[in-house]
Amino acid sequence: MPPMPHYLPWSALFLAAAMLWPPATRRWALAPLAAAWAWALADGVIDPVALAWPALLALAAALVRRRTQALGNAAGHTLFLVLAALLFLHLLPGFHNPQVIAPAPLSPGAAPFGMYLNLDKPLVAFWVVLALAPPMAAARLCTTLFAALLACAAAVAACLGAALAMGVVEWAPKWPASGWIWLLNNALLVTLAEEALFRGYVQQRLADCWRSRAWGAWAALAVSAVLFGLAHYAGGWQWMLLAGLAGAAYGAAYRYGGLGAAVLAHLGLNAAHFGLFTYPSAG
């Protein structure tokens, strides 16, 4: 595990991610995010070249806000999508993300699991939330929570049931000591980044484009779910199928309860998978 100072940028990053949710603190979320990056730079977690990527994201945000200039707007979205893909795949240089869980089976019969704390991928969530302002929740909190609960229940039943039937996972209740850092990372960074991109950006953009069509909202949901499934290509067709099913549930949560509902549904499925079954898969 990395020395204690390497964790310090993430204390600021976790705070910044949490500040994205309340409307009163959202505008100030960039302050702890900048502190996290400054801390990481001073500590050697990132190299100076990594500063180019948030700068380019800022340029993309400036371009997409010029709605009257179609060419500039399109250039901004294109730049964002290229950067988002590279950040998600950890292909941009300048990052030395620390490994906080060494690869090892979390339970008997499980494939080895390891985890890094990433500074690159969360940038996508900050960009989507701050540049495009997707709906973060429904008008009523109970609607958001109900949408999240229904979507999570459907995802757990469909995805984990199918995974169990296909032999992708096995029943293995547990909660290892590393579970808390896993949960914190999933709750504040992983699920937020993935839902911001696939629901807050892809689904929302397509729904806006197809607003005049009766089928528009459902088509946007379906496309985002398919893309989410394809993003799990490394796990083979089984994981693409399971991720596509999960993406449909998260998309429904987003449609009726906003980004908060999608994140909660996603976190609920991930937590059920982590705590009750072989994670990430059967060995």
What are the residue ranges spanned by the domains of the chain?
A: 4-276
pLDDT by residue (tens digit) across 137-156?
A: 999 999 999 999 999 999 99
pLDDT by residue (tens digit) across 25-64?
A: 999 999 999 999 999 999 999 999 999 999 999 999 999 9
Residue 172 burial (C-beta neighbours within 10 Å; 0-12, 13-18, 19+): middle
Question: Cβ–Cβ contacts within 10 Å for residue 8, how many?
Answer: 16
| Tokens representing residue 61 in the block | 């945000």
The CA distances from residue 217 to 29, 84, 87, 200, 259, in Å, are 30, 23, 28, 13, 15
Q: Write down how long the chain is.
A: 283
| Tokens representing residue 283 in the block | 């060995």
Q: Of 43, 22, 19, 46, which Cα lies nearest the Cα of 30?
A: 19
pLDDT range class, residue 4, cuts 50, 70, 90: very low
Q: Which DSSP state fits 45? A: S
The CA distances from residue 47 to 41, 109, 260, in Å, are 6, 39, 33
Enclosing H/E stretch for 100: strand 99-104
Indicate the pTM of the whole model: 0.96
Q: What is the CA radius of gyration of the chain?
A: 19
State the Cα–Cα distance between residues 281 and 283, nearest whole angstrom: 6
pLDDT by residue (tens digit) across 96-137?
A: 999 999 999 999 999 999 999 999 999 999 999 999 999 999
Q: Which DSSP state fits 115? A: E
Q: Of 227, 230, 35, 176, which Cα lies nearest the Cα of 119?
A: 35
Question: Cβ–Cβ contacts within 10 Å for residue 47, how many?
Answer: 13
